[in-house]
Amino acid sequence: MEIHKINIIQKFQRDWLNKFPWLSYSAKDCGAYCRICVLFGRDFGGIGDQKLGVLTLQPLSKYKNAIADFKKHSTLNYHALSIVKSEHFCASYEGKDVSVDVQLDSNLKKQIAINRKKILPIVKTILFCGKQNISLRGHRHETGNIFHQNSDFIENDGNFRALLRFRIESGDSDLNEHLQNSNKNATFISAVTQNDIIQCCGDIVIKKIVEKVKKATYFSILADETTDTSHVEQLSISIRYVDSDSKTIREDFVKFLKVIDLSGEALGKTITELIEQIGLSLMNLRGQGYDGAANMSGKFKGTQAYILKHQPLATYVHCYSHCLNLVLVKACSVQPVRNTIGIVEEVTNFIRDSPKRIEIFKNENIKHYPNLNSDTLLKLCTTRWVEHHEAFIRFNQMLPAIVSFLEYMIENSDGQILTKI
């Protein structure tokens, strides 16, 4: 039995003329044209003024994807300009002429409104990721079609693209139309565009902070140099000021600055340049706070000394948080304190390292504290002293339950476990 492939020839549909008022059919050329672009358009258009093709200089004679082709043509800029020209021509012919300047200005406003409508959901998605502190992209850079052709597609292409699809599935018709019909280089969802939007958001935030600082007049600068996970030296800069509206002291982060020269003079110059760059006056600087490192706190060549030369009223204060950290580090070297920290850490790890022991401890804890919401111990964080503080408070609260747990383990455990107790 032979199976022959049947070629179905699609023809021009009359109802297309109603759906797309600018569409016309040429019996001579056996194809479709956009009569508006034919009469009022140029020979060149699009990105880089490329020579135009189907629907303008050539007929569209293949109708397999005709509807999609018509919709895409409707969104093109040169098509919109041709429509404006045609409307102006008709107005002139009917005696309702409007000046060219007014017409072009009106068209420009329309185009700006359309572009803002397209990019608004994209900006909102980026802001959402920023507020929730989640990354936009994954470990790989995705540039393909955002619409998965395969419904079984399971690879994660990042939060940003996934959230855009979620918006479309939730009924965002404007975003759907934009991504379906726009050219690949005009979707506004590339990594470069994402970074540009983030930069614009950052500029707006800094502008609002500067407005509040100017309203307060005087301010202090806080800075700390550190190395990030990619081994790049960065200077973190914040501004401390009194909010005139809420009458509260605020410390607002301003910027991370990449630094190469870590000398006091170089860091001081970086700070003063940033102050001027964001629109603040060094004359209103009244304080500076850094850690106790020599390049920051040095009396003659430190950052604070450099800034004092340019603004003698900017009093230097050794950061209290760094001072507290130094005190705590010194206190931890005292033997009784060191032994206590070691015991708390060992007991906590012993309980938490086994699901079975965790369950036993929970049962003992319920016996002693039936109304206590917390039922586990906290691990000691190696970098945050606040976490140490919470861990010690929890350990002290549960001490009777811990003793009961250890007694139970002594009575019901083998020799290997007993060596750890």
Query: Of the ranges 111-125, 231-245, 384-398, which one carries the lowest mean pLDDT score?
Result: 384-398
**Phi/psi at 66 (nearest 5 deg)?**
-60, -45
Which one-letter amino acid corresponds to residue 117? K
Q: Kindly tell me if the per-residue pLDDT of 421 is higher than 60.
A: no
Average pLDDT, the chain: 84
**Region at 255 (left for phi over 0; alpha for psi -120 to 50; beta for the rest):** beta
Q: CA–CA separation, 35 vs 97, rounded Å? A: 22
pLDDT at 337: 85
Q: Kindly tell me if the per-residue pLDDT of 168 is higher than 50.
A: yes
pLDDT tens per residue, range 48-80: 455 677 888 888 888 888 888 898 888 888 888
Share above pLDDT 90 across residues of the chain, in percent, rounded to a whole number = 32
Residue with structure tokens 């996970």?
A: 229
Give how far the C-alpha of residue 132 lies from the chain's centroid of Cα atoms, to the nearest Å. 9
User: What's the topology of domain 215-318?
Assistant: Nucleotidyltransferase; domain 5 (3.30.420)
Q: Which of residues 7 and 22 earns the better pLDDT score? A: 22
Tokens of 16: 């297309």
**All structural domains of the chain with their residue ranges:** 14-94, 107-145+155-189, 215-318, 330-412
Tokens of 30: 């056996």
CA dihedral 316→322→326→327, nearest 10 degrees, is 90
- Residue 363: is it exposed, middle or buried by C-beta count within 10 angstroms (0-12/13-18/19+)? middle
